[in-house]
Amino acid sequence: MDKPTDDANDPSGRARGMQSSGLTAQAPTLNPNDHLADFDGGRPTPARRRAMIMIALGEYLDGYDLIAIAGALLQLNVQFHLTASQTGLLGASSFFGATLGLLVAGSVADRIGRRTIFVQVFWLFAILAGLSALVMNFAQLFAVRFLLGVCIGADIAISIPFLAEISPRKSRGRWAGAVPQIAWTLGAMSSLAMAAVLITIAGEHAWRWLFGFGVVPALIILVGRHSVPESPRWLVSQGHFAEADAAMRAFGLETSVSARDETQPALETEARARGSYLDIFRAPHTRRAVFVITVLGIGPLVGSAASVAAPYVMHFVGDLGAVTSLGGSILIWIGGFVGSIIAFLTVDRLGRFRSTAIAFWGSATCLILLTLTVKVPVLFVATYTLYGVCVWFGSSSNWLLPTELLPTHLRARAQGLGSGASRLMAGFTTWLVPTGVEAVGFAPTFLALSVVGVVLGGFVLMNRRYESKGKSLDEALE
């Protein structure tokens, strides 16, 4: 298996080495990344902006579906006679499925491209969303939710690298980091709002309608994505220069990458096709990979209590009614939306690392404050809302780290592995919150999570030498 080196990231490096050793008199080949300079710089064209929005909208469906279970659990707890552990498992099922989807799709996307999977996976999502409205017991719902998570994970593994590869370098943080989070929070808010309405008008069957409505945005996004071309950067990395030219024209740019010797990239393509998840941790990527997996893999311990577990905590710990708990949860997602907007405006100035550290420390502070305000409903909900601001402000930065810190031929794998670790921990935390509250109490559970946030914030700043703001994806690897 090949070991990634600087020459692996510079297809012309091998030719230069042969020339300097006197083995060939062939004229030097051009680095295709030089031809991507126009694609990396400047403002996005209207066609490119539309494509980025359609890619990011996949996160709307992610937010809708993952939070739909939060509202549904308020009814399912009674109808399916769920234990605390089963409640946590249902909330975590999509997270566990997403872990598998992220790992599988990441590897496939690095081999065959970004576009094919991220279009076709929505057909399966629409079918499963419809089936989730028809289940009759805990086991059936767990299985369908798990498979829905696989689809969601597959989309994330592809969408985030895809967005980064077609975003201008100076605004990549907002387009590939903040915009997906904005879409995510809008999906979550609409899910909880619909749950509150359906509980009022549809009674005990509200959760079925809530799941079934997930078919509608899936089909809308599917239609919009059919016009999105393949990533030019991935095409160039595979030596498909004519296709890269066509893709860039579809994005509104006339820059050509095909004016070079196309025999050399075939060697690179053959080598890169043998890439694997282990290559992520080989030199020169080892330290970056360990950093990324640590932050994304442990981070949900600090933030996931603001998502699926929130209605449960408000209802069963804060003693709020079912509809009131949903209303409070909507405020959390409004906070998440605000946090994402703040990130949209600041992430390309503050950078990924300072933003992430601020978010971890802010979330830890909110976790502590929640234990102090639990008996005061107004302050409790207000603190939870601020918690949402912090969590989604940070997510707008740290979700992008695997994509920015690993090369093109490993990028989707890295995003799949990092986000997979994140979803696995989010699923564990979703199970941990109700289980921990029942076993040791609310305050000890949330205080323990806050300690993790304090430590992670310091760890992020210790590694800020990897900051990628304002850099092209190639420069970020230097």
pLDDT of residue 19: 38
130 in Cβ contact with 118 (< 8 Å) = no
pLDDT of residue 1: 38
pLDDT band at 257 (very low <50, low <70, confident <90, very high): low
In the chain, the amino acid numbered 62 is: D
pLDDT of residue 259: 52
User: Distance between CA 416 and CA 469 in Å, rounded?
Assistant: 22
In this structure, what DSSP letter does residue 261 have? -
User: Distance between CA 140 and CA 76 in Å, rounded?
Assistant: 13
399 in Cβ contact with 419 (< 8 Å) = yes
Contacts of residue 169, defined as CB under 8 A and 6 or more positions apart, other chains included, come to 40, 41, 470, 471, 472, 473, 475
Minimum mean pLDDT among 148-152, 302-306, 387-391: which range? Answer: 302-306
Q: Residue 451: pLDDT above 60?
A: yes
271 in Cβ contact with 111 (< 8 Å) = no
Average pLDDT, the chain: 84
User: Distance between CA 173 and CA 303 in Å, rounded?
Assistant: 20
The CA-CA-CA angle for residues 361, 367, 373, to 5°, reads 135
129 in Cβ contact with 214 (< 8 Å) = yes
154 in Cβ contact with 61 (< 8 Å) = no
The larger pLDDT score, comparing residue 253 to residue 249, is at 249
> Which residue, chain included where needed, has tokens 């016009």?
227
3-class SS letters over 349-402: HHCHHHHHHHHHHHHHHHHHHHHHHCCCHHHHHHHHHHHHHHHHHHHHHHCCHH
Q: Residue 267: pLDDT above 80?
A: no
Number of residues in the chain: 478
pLDDT band at 258 (very low <50, low <70, confident <90, very high): low
In this structure, what DSSP letter does residue 173 have? I
Enumerate the H helices of 313-351 as residue ranges: 322-350
270 in Cβ contact with 254 (< 8 Å) = no
Q: How many CB atoms within 10 Å of residue 273?
A: 13
pLDDT in tens, 169-199: 889 999 999 999 999 999 988 887 888 788 8
Q: Residue 312's closest CA among 83, 2, 87?
A: 87
pLDDT of residue 16: 37
Q: Roughly how many angstroms between the first and final C-alpha of the chain, as a whole number?
A: 23
The larger pLDDT score, comparing residue 183 to residue 265, is at 183
Tokens describing residue 418: 């990092």
Q: Where do the domains of the chain lie?
A: 34-477
pLDDT band at 227 (very low <50, low <70, confident <90, very high): confident
pLDDT in tens, 348-386: 999 999 999 999 999 999 999 999 999 999 999 999 999
pLDDT of residue 276: 85
User: Distance between CA 129 and CA 123 in Å, rounded?
Assistant: 10
CA distances from 366 to 101, 300, 458 (A): 32, 15, 17
Predicted TM-score (pTM) of this structure:
0.81
98 in Cβ contact with 151 (< 8 Å) = no
The fraction of the chain above a pLDDT of 90, given in percent, is 43
pLDDT of residue 285: 93
Q: What mean pLDDT do residues 332-360 have?
A: 95
pLDDT band at 325 (very low <50, low <70, confident <90, very high): confident
Tokens describing residue 133: 């409205």
Q: What mean pLDDT do residues 405-431 have?
A: 88
Report the CATH number of the 34-477 domain. 1.20.1250.20
Q: Residue 392: pLDDT above 90?
A: yes
In this structure, what DSSP letter does residue 339 have? H
Task: State which H helix or E strand residue 287 sits in.
Answer: helix 286-298
Q: Tell me whether the omega of the peptide bond preceding residue 284 falls within 30 degrees of 0, making it cis.
A: yes
Q: Residue 109's closest CA among 450, 432, 471, 411?
A: 411
The larger pLDDT score, comparing residue 301 to residue 11, is at 301
In 97-207, beta strands by DSSP E: none
Angle of the 179-201 helix axis to the 377-398 helix axis, nearest 10: 140
176 in Cβ contact with 442 (< 8 Å) = no
Q: Residue 89: pLDDT above 70?
A: yes
User: Distance between CA 476 and CA 469 in Å, rounded?
Assistant: 8
Q: Residue 2: pLDDT above 50?
A: no
Minimum mean pLDDT among 35-39, 225-229, 275-279, 288-292: which range? Answer: 35-39
Instruction: Please count the CA atoms within 13 angstroms of the CA of 220 that sit on its side-chain side.
Output: 11
Q: How many CB atoms within 10 Å of residue 43?
A: 9
Winning range, highest mean pLDDT, from 99-103, 406-410, 442-446? 442-446
In this structure, what DSSP letter does residue 176 have? I
The CA-CA-CA angle for residues 293, 297, 298, to 5°, reads 125
Q: Residue 34: pLDDT above 80?
A: no
